[in-house]
């Protein structure tokens, strides 16, 4: 089921110089008709699975793996809540490197920020979790029962620098985790999609999949 094939049509008056008459129309797809998940489905977690996009996979690859059809790539994109595929779909390793190099140039490997390392006391109790953003002079002080004294740690003992390239890689990798529609709910979703694409009765109505505009001042249906 191709997304663009299912979009309804608009008949526009032809402005081509070689048209046969003033009554000639051109059929175009109505890209203003957008599909989104029904609210009751969107709020029901049981219809979705968590999915990690493999390196180098495109939406059509994911659709082929999950639903057996690459043409259902738009279902993957819609259910993941993706609006701008260029910005919201993860790049492969070569692409993210080229993107980062183009963005930062010679500053590619400069430290963008620091984050904490995991720190535990002698008894294994968590003192400091990993991954918290901190400044370069961050220190941590805690009482260690096994040593019966206070311990102060700073510098590379408690934090590590994250370069511009590492930062972009982290952001890119976070995009790999999406929600996908379970296969057993696919047909219901496709049926809802077809219902959304049907035009209601109006003065512009031709059939369920077509409306006709007499002039370009008429608003889009």
pLDDT, residue 195, reads: 72
Is 200's pLDDT higher than 80? no
Is 196's pLDDT higher than 80? no
Is 95's pLDDT higher than 50? yes
Task: Tell me what the mean pLDDT of segment 179-190 comes to.
Answer: 90
Task: Tell me what the mean pLDDT of segment 164-188 comes to.
Answer: 95
Task: Tell me what the mean pLDDT of segment 169-181 comes to.
Answer: 96
Measured at the CA of 83, the angle between CA 77 and CA 84, to 5 degrees, comes to: 105
- pTM, two decimals, is 0.72
pLDDT confidence band for 219 (50 / 70 / 90): very low
Q: Rounded to an integer, what distance in angstroms lies between the CA atom of residue 3 and that of residue 189?
A: 13
Query: Which residue is listed with tokens 């934090």?
Result: 159
Give, as one character, the DSSP assignment of residue 123. Answer: T
Between 217 and 172, where is the model more confident?
172
Task: Tell me what the mean pLDDT of segment 178-197 comes to.
Answer: 85
Give tens-digit pLDDT for 110-152: 999 999 999 999 999 999 999 999 999 999 999 999 999 999 9
pLDDT confidence band for 1 (50 / 70 / 90): low
3-class SS of residue 184: helix
The closest alpha carbon to 41, from 199, 157, 214, 196, belongs to: 196
Q: Using an 8 Å Cβ cutoff, are 202 and 212 in contact?
A: no
Is 201's pLDDT higher than 60? yes
Query: Which sequence spans correspond to the domains of the chain?
Result: 3-90+176-212, 97-170
Is 172's pLDDT higher than 90? yes
């Amino acid at each position: 089921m191709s997304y663009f094939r299912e979009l309804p049509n608009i008949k526009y008056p032809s402005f081509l110089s070689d048209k046969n008459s003033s009554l000639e129309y051109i059929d175009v797809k109505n890209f203003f008709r957008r599909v989104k998940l029904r609210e009751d489905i969107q709020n029901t977690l049981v219809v979705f699975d968590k999915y990690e996009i493999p390196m180098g996979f495109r939406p059509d690859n994911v659709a082929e793996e999950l639903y057996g059809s690459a043409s259902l790539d738009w279902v993957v994109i819609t259910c993941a809540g993706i609006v701008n595929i260029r910005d919201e779909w993860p790049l492969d390793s070569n692409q993210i490197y080229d993107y980062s190099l183009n963005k930062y140039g010679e500053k590619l490997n400069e430290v963008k920020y620091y984050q904490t390392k995991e720190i535990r006391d002698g008894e294994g109790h968590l003192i400091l979790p990993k991954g918290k953003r901190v400044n370069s002079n961050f220190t941590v002080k805690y009482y260690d029962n096994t040593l019966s004294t206070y311990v102060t740690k700073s510098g590379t003992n408690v934090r590590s620098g994250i370069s511009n390239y590492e930062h972009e890689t982290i952001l890119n990798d976070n995009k790999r985790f999406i929600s996908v529609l379970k296969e057993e709910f696919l047909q219901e979703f496709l049926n809802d999609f077809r219902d959304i694409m049907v035009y209601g009765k109006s003065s512009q109505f031709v059939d369920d999949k077509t409306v006709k505009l007499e002039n370009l001042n008429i608003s889009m249906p």
